[in-house]
């Protein structure tokens, strides 16, 4: 079936470290891919997206590239800050099937950044 | 600044009572999702609508849950009767699907934290 798998957390980093959160997907057809971030007590915020293969989404220093050959959409940031501590969700939206537009999430990865 | 509005933000109710959660999607969006978030299960998709028509509600317990869109500015999720296991945060998301239904963006509300005692 259609699904998203993220690396397990928590991921604990020191400030200014390089961040990678892995995300792989299984989908029929070619989905759009999204990263969302959730801060404590809040809803999910759209961080970035990519709608076709080789697209790179970027926002606030975060970026992710849609890799069709490896079915991946890994999130990266060159230098994390304490304020980046949150839960990060990878998601896909299906195209060209009976579930077109359905938005499916991974389990989330908690990031803790220490000063 | 367009945003998704959910009410109430918090709800405490007794087991057996009816609960109604409301969502005002972003003007111009044509897709609405309802999700439930718990520590154990993560984010679960309960139902979603396109142009007010339900596309998939297979994630929703049909015996007690119902979701509707009476008009383009309001989506509702009802639980009747409520049970303690329904305690969770319920999120509404508003999205725009274009062309052959390709979702180009989706924004979440702040959620309704439901506690059933």
Percent of chain B with pLDDT over 90: 81
Mean pLDDT value across residues A21-36:
92
| CA gap A67, A85 in Å, rounded | 26
Per the DSSP assignment, residues forming a β-bridge with A37 are A45, A88
Q: Determine phi and psi for A23, rounding to 5 degrees.
A: -145, 125
> Are B63 and A66 within 8 A, CB to CB?
no
Nearest CB to A43; choose among B48, B56, B111: B111
Interface of A with B (CB under 8 A): 32, 34, 36, 42-46, 49, 51, 89, 93, 95-96, 99-105, 107-108
> Chain A partners of B109 at a C-beta cutoff of 8 Å?
43
The full DSSP string for A5-19 is EE--S-EEEETT--E
Predicted confidence (pLDDT) per residue in B78-87, tens digit: 999 999 999 9
Per-chain mean pLDDT for chain A: 93
Predicted confidence (pLDDT) per residue in B102-115, tens digit: 888 999 999 999 99
Per the DSSP assignment, residues forming a β-bridge with A25 are A4
Q: 3-state secondary structure string, B57-86?
A: CCCCCCCCEEEEEEECCEEEEEECCCCHHH
């Amino acid at each position: 079936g259609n699904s998203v798998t993220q690396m397990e957390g928590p991921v604990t980093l020191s400030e200014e470290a390089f961040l990678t959160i892995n995300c792989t997907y299984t989908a029929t057809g070619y989905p759009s891919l999204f990263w969302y971030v959730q801060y404590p007590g809040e809803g999910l915020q759209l961080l970035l997206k990519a709608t076709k293969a080789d697209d790179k989404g970027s926002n606030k220093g975060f970026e992710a590239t849609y890799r069709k050959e490896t079915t991946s959409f890994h999130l990266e940031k060159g230098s994390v800050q304490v304020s980046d501590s949150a839960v990060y969700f990878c998601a896909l939206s299906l195209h060209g099937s009976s579930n077109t537009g359905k938005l499916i999430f991974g389990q989330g990865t908690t990031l803790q950044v220490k000063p | 600044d367009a945003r998704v509005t959910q009410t109430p933000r918090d709800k405490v109710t007794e087991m057996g009572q009816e609960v109604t959660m409301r969502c005002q999607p972003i003007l111009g969006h044509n897709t609405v999702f309802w999700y439930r978030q718990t520590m154990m299960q993560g984010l679960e998709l309960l139902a979603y609508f396109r142009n007010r028509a339900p596309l998939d509600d297979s994630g929703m317990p049909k015996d007690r849950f119902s979701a509707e869109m009476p008009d383009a500015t309001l989506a509702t999720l009802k639980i009747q009767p409520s049970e303690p296991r329904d305690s969770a945060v319920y999120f509404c998301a508003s999205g725009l699907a274009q062309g052959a239904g390709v979702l180009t963006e989706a924004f979440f509300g702040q959620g309704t934290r439901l506690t059933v005692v």
